[in-house]
Structure 1
């Protein structure tokens, strides 16, 4: 049997959430069901799902707000919105903040499953182009890990992986500090800047086995990955 697909489902209507969960689990999905946006964000961070299915109207944190927060640190995970809303403006907003697909309630489970598989397949194709070489390191951005030659694979956090990805894409050029803070942290204030410095230090330690790879601080501007 093929590996199961791990999915976070955020749906505050208990009966509907349970029906969707049970239906997906009969189709080889591992479903983490959350009844509000805050729990869904915690599940995203702790469970490393492959796809998110988010109800738009939820307590504590709605689906659109949740998607914005996730897109600030992860621009690859597929997101499907579920909603009873039918206005065009809502559909447009869903796509504009990073949603990949949109299903209006009521919907058939067959349609949801087909859309999930289509997004997973499309994402897997896109991810194959994001395995990158940095000196003697191999960086697998989709799996968020780093490997030196044939040694042990180091797992990165979401933010470490995205920060390293942007450094590599701009290697041997300065990565603008304010730009990357706003993209990954959502703000360029003092506390976020200090947080980024900590992440840079962690990446330096993980890259220290190859002396040809360095992350240098360009004072007043940002960071530069030299390879």
Structure 2
């Protein structure tokens, strides 16, 4: 049986909360490295191996979203879990778009946190030595799509369409809904453009065999995960 203790990068600027969470996690036991700024968290990530990252969003120097972008740029596999007082839908979606695996709102249950950590660790270690399949990491601001560590540059339209579908996995998105949301119109010529972009995105997603864009003839599309 492996004696490996999971290594956690924990970035939280609230000293009291940081002490309580770290102390509790170390009793599980986990090996916890606690940083209080985004800059320190990034420096630590670059110089030490970790199995999972727990990131606050509102951090001094470098915020949690920026830190997550930096981590995802060099590692598309490591689980990232946001712990934040920001509870609105926009912030949660932004965190997930950046490649986070989950978003816990403060105050959170420490038991739930431990449960989620164990779930994500099992997912990444269930088949040691086998490269796990990853979800695409979409960076809207820089128009890039990262798959298995390979970054592709997208057009603005490709980015918009991909983001819209990623926000609605395993859900039928109607053609007219997608056209109005992205192009602001649903006429014939816009529809033909949409088909071109869907075709391009299918090719870009080809490296992930478990992720595909299905066409529901005459109705719309479903991003299957």
State the TM-score bracket (shorter-chain normalisation): 0.5 to 0.7
Provide, for residues 1-29 of structure 1, a one-character-per-residue CA deviation record: whole Å limited to 9, x for no partner: 83211101000000000100000000010
Say what the alpha-carbon RMSD is for the aligned residues: 2.4
Alignment of 1:61-72 (within 5 A): 61-72=62-73
SS in 1 for 2:74: coil
In the other structure, the counterpart of 1:159 is none
CA contact (8 A) 2:55 2:83 kept: yes
Moved over 6 A (4+): none
CA contact (8 A) 2:75 2:149 kept: no
TM-score scaled by length of structure 2:
0.57
- Structure 2 CA distance for partners of 1:30 and 1:106, relative to 1, 3 Å: same
TM-score scaled by length of structure 1:
0.57
The whole-number CA distance in structure 2 between the counterparts of 1:93 and 1:47 is 27
- Structure 2 CA distance for partners of 1:61 and 1:130, relative to 1, 3 Å: same
Given the alignment of the two structures, is residue 54 of structure 1 paired with residue 81 of structure 2, yes or no? no
SS in 2 for 1:82: strand
Unpaired runs of at least 5, structure 1:
132-161, 167-178, 184-227
Report the CA distance between 1:85 and its aligned residue: 1.0
Unpaired runs of at least 5, structure 2:
133-145, 155-225
Provide, for residues 196-220 of structure 1, a one-character-per-residue CA deviation record: whole Å limited to 9, x for no partner: xxxxxxxxxxxxxxxxxxxxxxxxx
**Is 77-86 or 116-125 further displaced after alignment?**
116-125
How many residues are treated as equivalent by the alignment? 139
Alignment of 1:48-127 (within 5 A): 48-125=49-126
